[in-house]
Amino acid sequence: TYVICEPCIDLKDSSCVDVCPVDCIHPLPDADEFEGVNQLYIDPEECIDCGVCEPECPVEAIFMEEDVPEEWEDFIEINAVYFE
Ligand code: SF4
């Protein structure tokens, strides 16, 4: 799966949302209801690893799970938890 990391926080450019073929990138619907990080999330169950979203991100926030930089490894869980 692909993972959205720290550079997306409070930015949510959303270019990735438009190109995802399976529509699995979701914004935070209501920041007051979900006590999470204000960013976009990729549903790990739905992502087909096509990689189309990665180059669309203007701040390089999207990585293949295996390639997430060490300092952002927490975001693998942050993305997954949103969909539980
Ligand atoms: Fe969507 Fe493809 Fe990005 Fe997965 S890798 S989130 S399927 S655009």
Residues in the chain: 84
- Predicted ipTM > 0.90: yes
Can you read off the two tokens belonging to residue 24? 């699995």
Closest residue by Cα to residue 75 from 25, 20, 65: 65
Minimum CA distance residue for ligand 1 atom 3:
53
Domains assigned to the chain = 2-81 (3.30.70.20)
For residue 50, which atom of ligand 1 is closest to its CA? 2
For residue 25, which atom of ligand 1 is closest to its CA? 6
Position 5 pLDDT exceeds 80:
yes
2 lines ligand 1 (CB under 6 A): yes
pLDDT at 28 (0 to 100)? 59
Report the 10 Å Cβ neighbour count for 14.
13
Report the 10 Å Cβ neighbour count for 79.
27
Rounded mean pLDDT, 40-49: 95
User: 34 C-alpha vs ligand 1 centroid, how far in Å?
Assistant: 23
Q: How confident is the model at residue 37 (pLDDT cuts 50, 70, 90)?
A: confident
Minimum CA distance residue for ligand 1 atom 8:
20
The torsion defined by the Cα of 56, 11, 40 and 57, in degrees rounded to 10, comes to: 10
pTM of the entire predicted model? 0.90
Instruction: Please give the backbone phi and psi of residue 64, each rounded to the nearest 5 degrees, phi first.
Output: -65, 145
To the nearest whole number, what is the mean pLDDT of the chain? 90
